């Protein structure tokens, strides 16, 4: 078990290196110069060159990468070009917001998705099942930015019951979390139903019924546990999708999260921020995957990590 853990942690480090290098190479080819974008209209060539020098942009690519890696080992993610603040500080200011949104969305998604999926799975091919699955298909097909805008129009413009953008109160969280949550609920509902169906066909379930156990007991104690495994895989993938999907939702609702920050940094060519944010996203995803895999081991004692 320990060996597996070490292996995976090493892999996470490898992922981090890979992402950093990938980002570095990519950024080198983007047209656009942050010095030019930030300096005012009348800046002279000499001034822009001086700014580039100040931000270390005049050095060759490998030197920049080496400096970045050295700083990284010391825990320094660099300094944002646009704001002059340490990238780490900027990320720390925003990452919790993305996490809150992701968690709220996941909560909504998991609760409604699991519930709908279990109900459907227990009564396959009934009217309720067909309806729920059709709704789930809807949820999976909805473009989040469109859905978010429609919700915003309805609740914030027409009916004025919720704020349209920004963050700060629970009310602000409702619309963006719901927009995210619907898509997730849909995926979880479908997966839950599928694995419930798989499990409910198993012989030991029939035995449980034969023993005279009530349906709720059968479902909760026996079926669910085994159905959970594929659901957990999907949840892991979903979390990754959340991080990405939040980019769009954050933009629509002006939610001050990391996704939106990354997109803005790309537009202003704030290289240190882009690198830092991509790194954090990648690491978070790898980390979540690790947790998911370990959770397998807890739920299914048959899985051992050599």
The Cα 113–Cα 252 span in angstroms is 24
Query: Measured in whole angstroms, how far is the alpha carbon of residue 74 from the centre of its chain?
Result: 27
Tally of helices (H runs) and strands (E runs) in the chain: 13, 0
The token pair at 139 is: 């949820």
Which of positions 30-59 make contact with other proteins (CB under 8 A)? 30-34, 36-48, 50-51, 54
The token pair at 199 is: 């499990």
Does residue 252 touch other proteins according to CB under 8 A? yes
Which of positions 127-146 make contact with other proteins (CB under 8 A)? 137-138, 140-146
Query: Measured in whole angstroms, how far is the alpha carbon of residue 169 from the centre of its chain?
Result: 22
Binding to other proteins by CB under 8 A, coded x per residue (else -) over 209-238, reads ------------------------x---x-
Query: Measured in whole angstroms, how far is the alpha carbon of residue 239 from the centre of its chain?
Result: 5
> Cβ closer to other proteins: 137 or 217?
137
Select from 104-112, 151-159, 199-207, 214-222 the region that touches other proteins (CB under 8 A): 151-159
Which of positions 167-186 make contact with other proteins (CB under 8 A)? 167-168
Does residue 266 touch other proteins according to CB under 8 A? yes
The Cα 129–Cα 120 span in angstroms is 5
Give me the least distance between CB of 21 and other proteins, in Å please. Answer: 10
Does residue 15 touch other proteins according to CB under 8 A? yes
Does residue 115 touch other proteins according to CB under 8 A? no
Between vectors from CA 304 to CA 299 and to CA 306, what angle results, nearest 5°?
150
Does residue 304 touch other proteins according to CB under 8 A? no
């Amino acid at each position: 078990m320990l060996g597996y853990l070490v292996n995976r942690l090493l892999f996470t480090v490898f992922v981090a290196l890979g992402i950093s290098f990938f980002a570095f190479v990519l950024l080198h080819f983007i047209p656009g110069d942050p010095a030019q974008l930030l300096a005012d209209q009348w800046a002279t060539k000499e001034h822009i060159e001086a700014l580039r020098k100040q931000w270390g942009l005049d050095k060759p690519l490998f030197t920049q990468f080496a400096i970045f890696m050295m700083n990284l080992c010391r825990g320094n993610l660099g300094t944002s070009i646009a704001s002059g603040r340490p990238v780490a500080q900027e990320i720390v200011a925003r990452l919790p917001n993305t996490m809150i949104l992701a968690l709220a969305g996941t909560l909504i998604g998991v609760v409604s998705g699991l519930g709908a999926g279990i109900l459907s799975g227990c009564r396959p091919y009934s009217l309720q099942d067909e309806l729920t699955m059709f709704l789930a298909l809807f949820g999976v097909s909805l473009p989040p930015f469109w859905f978010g805008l429609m919700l915003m129009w309805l609740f914030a413009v027409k009916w004025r019951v919720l704020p349209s953008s920004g963050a700060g109160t629970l009310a602000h969280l409702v619309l963006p979390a719901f927009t995210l949550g619907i898509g997730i609920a849909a995926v979880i509902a479908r997966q839950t139903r599928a694995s419930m169906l798989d499990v409910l066909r198993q012989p030991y379930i029939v035995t449980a019924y034969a023993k005279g156990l009530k349906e709720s007991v059968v479902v909760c104690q026996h079926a669910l546990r085994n159905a959970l495994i594929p659901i957990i895989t999907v949840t892991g993938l979903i979390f990754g999708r959340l991080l990405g999907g939040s980019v769009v939702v954050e933009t629509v609702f002006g939610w001050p999260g990391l996704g939106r920050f990354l997109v803005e940094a790309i537009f202003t060519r704030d290289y240190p921020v882009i690198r830092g944010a991509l790194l954090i996203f990648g690491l978070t995803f790898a980390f979540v995957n690790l947790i998911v895999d370990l959770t397998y081991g807890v739920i299914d004692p048959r899985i051992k990590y050599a």
